[in-house]
Amino acid sequence: MTVRVAVLGCGVVGTEVVRLLTTSAADLEARAGAPLELVGVAVRSLDTPRDPVVDRALLTTDAEALVDRADVVVELMGGLEPARSLLLRAIENGAAVVTANKALLGADGPTLYAAADEAGVDLYFEAAVAGAIPLVRPVRESLAGDAVTRVLGIVNGTTNYVLDQMASTGADLDLAVKQAQELGYAEADPTADVEGYDAAAKAAILASLAFHTRVSVDQVHREGIGAITAEDVAWAAETGHVVKLLAVAERVAATAEHPEGVVVRVHPALVPLDHPLAGVRQAFNAVFVQAEAAGELMFYGRGAGGRPTASAVLGDLVTVARHRVRGGRGPIESRYADLPVLGMGAAPTRYQVRMRVADRPGVLASVAAVFAARDVSIEAVRQADGDGTADLLVVTHTAPEAALAATVEDLTGLDVVDSVLSVLRVEGA
């Protein structure tokens, strides 16, 4: 028996998948239990220069015909279409599918999961979240006997690199993004990373797996790092924190305002320097998982790049090939919990609010009264005096986002507050 493999896409990741399939063929055969035969590689253009490891005779622009000749289809084209139609076609044909396409899974995963379930084929996507880091399989399989309570992750290497540069060199956002582009960490159009779209797609996938509940990308509260200033980053250091773009997915208990549910969000946050995520530098990714029985787990590694991502793709490929050879299937979509996906207002978080206030007696009491009126308790206050004004830094205890946001709204209307300079959430404390 031979497992016929079609690779759709021969770009950054596809090329490295082809390389590993070619150079590690004997090992992969031994591990899968049958030879993995690369039957073709679909591309947009046959004229594009390619790495010599790619046999030009395998290239085709007819992706549909290629899909029809494969036992396993590996989709590395990206984008919604034609990736979705080609994967659905493969599934209908009875082929197993492997994809790294977080945009497609975040936007329309359920269509693919349902089709794979109906056809009785495998759908694997380890590379779609945090590149090389084994994360999908641990959450979906290793933790299947536990109850995940919270997932806190740095899942976008570009923004982590940018924020790390800002922290280590004092650069402002624009300069740090430019440096990331020069080093190939950021795209010419960095919007998907900087505005948090990429992280939101990954957060939706992770939340779905962790909480056995369908979460789509449009249910993820998303704020990018576009508004983070060099001053925010400097203040973070001053107060023992570092700014990170976090993807947070958590189960929240029922309250008078909402039922038990799941909140999924992506936003910049202050992370205390002694938290394991604070030490994640450069373009690395890391995901911190809290589960009832397992406690705290940390997954760390390279979240992108051709070779690291190809490692995750090949892991999936060997797994689905084993199933073809020996029978059986991997896990299907698990959504039995079907928890409501709650709005951002239900998220439990803490705020660090920096504001410019009048420098006169009684100001602190007025400010504190605003927090108290919203039932938000204050953990710490710091004041730096200026000329007739003072900068006040207030750190709260954990409270629902709705109460914290309403407090900031009230502060802006207070006559002793000149302006609210910045509001950042604090996570991981």
Catalytic center residues: 202
301-320 binders of ligand NAP (CB under 6 A): 304-305, 309
Least separation in angstroms between residue 121's CB and ligand NAP is 20
- 190 touches ligand NAP by CB under 6 A: no
Least separation in angstroms between residue 313's CB and ligand NAP is 8
In the complex with ligand NAP, the residue whose CB is nearer, 54 or 355, is: 54
Q: Which of 84, 1, 10 is nearest to 53 (CA)?
A: 10
- 360 touches ligand NAP by CB under 6 A: no
d(CA 98, CA 207): 20
Q: Which two tokens stand for residue 107?
A: 């936007």
In the complex with ligand NAP, the residue whose CB is nearer, 161 or 235, is: 161
88-127 binders of ligand NAP (CB under 6 A): 100-102, 127
**Cα 344 to Cα 220, 224, 258, distances in angstroms:** 9, 15, 12
In the complex with ligand NAP, the residue whose CB is nearer, 76 or 341, is: 76
CB-nearest residue to ligand NAP? 11
Helix (H, G, I), strand (E, B) or coil at 140: helix
- 268 touches ligand NAP by CB under 6 A: no
Q: Which of 42, 74, 98, 242 binds ligand NAP (CB under 6 A)?
A: 42
d(CA 61, CA 52): 18
- 282 touches ligand NAP by CB under 6 A: no
The window from 11-19, 189-197, 227-235, 332-340 that contacts ligand NAP (CB under 6 A) reads 11-19
Q: Which of 82, 110, 272, 343 binds ligand NAP (CB under 6 A)?
A: 82
Exposure string for 344-354, b = 16+ CB within 10 A, e = fewer: bbbbebbbbbb
Q: Which of 10, 20, 98, 353 binds ligand NAP (CB under 6 A)?
A: 10
Contact in structure between 252 and 118 (CB atoms under 8 Å)? no
Contact in structure between 146 and 291 (CB atoms under 8 Å)? yes
The window from 77-85, 107-115, 403-411, 420-428 that contacts ligand NAP (CB under 6 A) reads 77-85
In the complex with ligand NAP, the residue whose CB is nearer, 224 or 261, is: 224
Q: Which of 40, 78, 153, 301 binds ligand NAP (CB under 6 A)?
A: 78
User: 40 φ, ψ to 5°?
Assistant: 175, 160
User: 235 φ, ψ to 5°?
Assistant: -65, -35
Q: CB pairs under 8 A, 24+ apart, for 54-63?
A: 54/10, 54/15, 54/18, 59/10, 63/8
In the complex with ligand NAP, the residue whose CB is nearer, 76 or 376, is: 76
d(CA 148, CA 167): 32
In the complex with ligand NAP, the residue whose CB is nearer, 22 or 419, is: 22
**Cα 361 to Cα 78, 186, 260, 349, 357, distances in angstroms:** 59, 49, 44, 30, 11
- 11 touches ligand NAP by CB under 6 A: yes
Radius of gyration of the chain (CA): 24
Residues that bind ligand NAP (CB under 6 A): 9-14, 42-45, 48, 63, 76-78, 82, 100-102, 127, 131, 304-305, 309
